[in-house]
Amino acid sequence: MMCSTENSQEPKYTSDPALILELKTRRPPSLVGRAGCETWSVDFSPDGAWFAWSMGHGIVWVVAWPLDSEDGQSGETDRGDKSFSCGHPVWGLAFGPRPPKPAKAARPAQIPSKWNKSLLLATGLENGVIKIWNVSTGEAVFDLYGHEGVVRDLVFPQNGTLTLISSSRDKTLRIWDLAQKGKKVQVLSGHKDWISCCAVSPDCSMVASVGRFDRMVCLWSLRSYTFIRNLIGGTHKTLYLLSSCDFSPDGAMLATAAFSGSSWWIDLWDPYTAEKLTTLVDYFENYGQNQISSIQFSPSGLHLAIVTDDRALRIWEPGRKGMVMQTKVDRDSNGLCCNYHPQGGVVATGTRDGHVRFWKAPRTVPSLSHLCRLILRHSVSTHQMEPLPLPKRILEYLTYRNIPQHLFVSKLDLS
């Protein structure tokens, strides 16, 4: 592994986020640029103290964060960085369990005592196996078998339990109980083709999944393990592919990313009513040259990180006319994934060449109205909001219906 620090800011592009540093992987020249080098997934631990990325060829690096700490630079302290050899290419990874936020914890999480102090890392492999690792010891704990295709995405719900949700190219999602070493598993079937991504609502009631080729955005109940609905846009008549999804921190919005030969777009949905709230679209001149790969909401819910072929990173405030921050145009950015640090302020992006970049993200102080909406909507659904005797303007704000219905990137961002 090699670490380099660069500054991507240029005087004329004041909106470019600063590139804090970049981790590059040393490889024999014969392997550079070949399939298997990709960083398909990156993740921060729930407390933000660890960072993991799939650096290609079946290797996952786990490093202590921050990377530029004085102890780490002096060499006087053992940082505890480690690598896991998974034996097959790693497509998805996730730290867990993820404890609930203190304000949301109605009761203590029921976790066996032997797991209480164990941070786990789940890695989804190309051969369909999921390997579970103990981060502190660096040892493999056990393997999960059942998927018959690439395990594309993994996520732990934010409730402190040892539940793991996986999505795969075998068209299924699986819900594993790691306390039982995966012996108890629920299988969710309904997609007609590969599943690109999955996400869990903050209240842990729903799972969302997007199918790359079947163009399905499915919602599932995490309580009854049943299918809820398929969100169908209906406005895009041409062939397109779905690539990513994420819930807002209050669970009141679901963002989905898609692209076709001449454009990419992000739809924001109300997961309770299946209403499409808005669409952000970018049209481009070079046919088939601008794929959108990954999106993720910031911990505050104010921003959405976007990774596309033509820019390493964009950061958008839903409803705003223009990007809050964006890198300069770079057709060789090769971005594949992104992940916010749990405390915000930093976004990590992974690339096709197995590298990781860390970007300085905006730290905007949320307004009081946004904080109130965030707390209220975490526990109150749209169906419960609508009958309340509230002024129309306030109700529209609380249900995110005050966002313009259509926004166009190409008309807003000219740099």
Whether pTM > 0.75 for this model: the answer is yes
18 domain-assigned: no
> Which CATH number belongs to the domain containing residue 249 in this structure?
2.130.10.10
The rounded distance, in Å, linking the Cα atoms of 242 and 197 is 9
**Do the strands 172-177 and 185-189 form a parallel or antiparallel pair, or are they unpaired?**
antiparallel
Is the confidence at residue 298, as pLDDT, over 90? yes
pLDDT tens digits along 107-155: 434 444 444 458 999 999 999 999 999 999 999 999 999 999 999 999 9
344 domain-assigned: yes
Residue 317 pLDDT: 93
Partner residues linked to 195 by β-bridges: 211
Joined together, the tokens standing for residue 360 give: 């300085």
Residue 333 pLDDT: 78
pLDDT tens digits along 221-275: 999 999 999 997 545 556 789 999 999 999 999 999 999 887 899 999 999 999 9
Q: How many domains does the chain have?
A: 1
169 domain-assigned: yes
The pLDDT confidence band at residue 11, using thresholds 50, 70 and 90, is very low
Buried b (16+ CB within 10 A) or exposed e, 294-310: bbbbbebbbbbbbbbbb
**Do the strands 163-168 and 151-155 form a parallel or antiparallel pair, or are they unpaired?**
antiparallel
CA atoms within 13 A on the CB side of 247: 26
10 domain-assigned: no
The rounded distance, in Å, linking the Cα atoms of 125 and 336 is 17
Buried b (16+ CB within 10 A) or exposed e, 356-372: bbbbbbbeeeeeeebee
Nearest residue to 247 via CA among 182, 308, 198: 198
105 domain-assigned: no
Looking at per-residue confidence, does 15 or 318 come out higher?
318
24 domain-assigned: no
The rounded distance, in Å, linking the Cα atoms of 314 and 316 is 6
Joined together, the tokens standing for residue 413 give: 């961002």
**Mean pLDDT of the chain, nearest integer:** 86
Range of the domain at 349: 33-67+80-99+116-408
**Do the strands 406-408 and 275-283 form a parallel or antiparallel pair, or are they unpaired?**
parallel
209 domain-assigned: yes
Average of pLDDT values for 25-33? 65
Residue 63 pLDDT: 94
6 domain-assigned: no
* Under 8 Å between Cβ of 149 and 127: no
